[in-house]
């Protein structure tokens, strides 16, 4: 009786299933993923079994196939997650709770406090007033005018890199001023 090509491909593979299962168990998220990757590994190995004739090299060869099968699966899942980010799929995602409609009087999160949009705007304006004139000017010229970094840099007579550094520092100072104001408001409300 002659063995078929299909049977020859499986010679020696089933004996290594426990080894592969143990190796994959430490790398897979759950049992279902482990079973899928193990099946894919064994199918790939059976398909290309004729490429390896030395039984001493079979174990390392199988582990390499398992690693590649797992890596391929992770790549496919990464592409699936990336595809969900496209605009057509945004309606599938739940809306964030903090989104306010123009007519709504809901509160916004500002620090640890919930405040109305008008109160948040007022606190931001007061924090802006405490900044140095240069910081205020660079923030307003860039954000209030909705200008590009290149345009704002040209307006201030500096390089784009210098402007980006000034914007970074001004935003950091504004955040500190706003956090300080909100802490004082929270302390007053607690009394």
85 shares its domain with 11: yes
Q: Which of 42, 65, 92 lies at the terminal end of a domain, its last residue? A: 92
Residue 84: per-residue pLDDT? 47
Which CATH number covers residue 186?
1.10.10.10
Is residue 101 a part of any domain in this protein? no
Look at the chain and report how many structural domains it folds into: 2
Cα–Cα distance measured from residue 154 to residue 144, given in angstroms and rounded to the nearest whole number:
16
Which percentage of the chain shows pLDDT scores above 70? 75
Cβ(142)–Cβ(149) below 8 Å = yes
Helix orientation angle between 17-25 and 58-83, rounded to the nearest 10 degrees:
40
- Same-domain status, 88 and 13: yes
What pLDDT digit, counting tens, does each position of 66-84 carry? 999 999 988 887 755 554 4
Q: Is residue 98 part of a domain?
A: no
Mean pLDDT, the chain, whole residue set: 78
Domain range spanning residue 137? 109-190
Of 109 and 137, the structure prediction assigns the larger pLDDT to 137
Looking at residue 28, the DSSP 8-state letter turns out to be S
Same domain? For 84 and 129 the reply is: no
Q: In CATH, what number is assigned to the domain containing residue 41?
A: 1.10.1740
What is the C-alpha to C-alpha distance for residues 20 and 30, in angstroms, rounded to an integer? Answer: 15
């Amino acid at each position: 009786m002659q063995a078929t090509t299909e049977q020859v491909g499986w010679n020696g593979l089933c004996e290594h299933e426990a080894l592969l299962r143990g190796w994959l168990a430490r790398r897979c998220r759950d049992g279902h993923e482990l079973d899928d990757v193990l099946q894919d590994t064994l199918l790939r190995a059976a398909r290309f079994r004729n490429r390896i004739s030395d039984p001493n090299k079979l174990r390392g060869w199988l582990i390499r196939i398992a690693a590649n099968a797992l890596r391929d699966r992770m790549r496919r899942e990464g592409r699936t997650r990336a595809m969900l980010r496209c605009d057509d799929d945004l309606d599938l995602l739940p809306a964030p709770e903090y989104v306010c409609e123009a007519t709504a009087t809901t509160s916004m999160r500002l620090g640890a406090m919930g405040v109305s949009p008008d109160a948040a705007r007022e606190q931001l304006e007061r924090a802006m007033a405490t900044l140095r004139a240069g910081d205020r000017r660079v923030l307003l010229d860039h954000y209030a005018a909705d200008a590009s970094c290149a345009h704002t840099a040209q307006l201030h007579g500096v390089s784009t890199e210098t402007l980006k550094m000034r914007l970074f520092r001004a935003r950091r100072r504004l955040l500190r001023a706003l956090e300080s104001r909100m802490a004082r408001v929270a302390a007053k409300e607690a009394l």
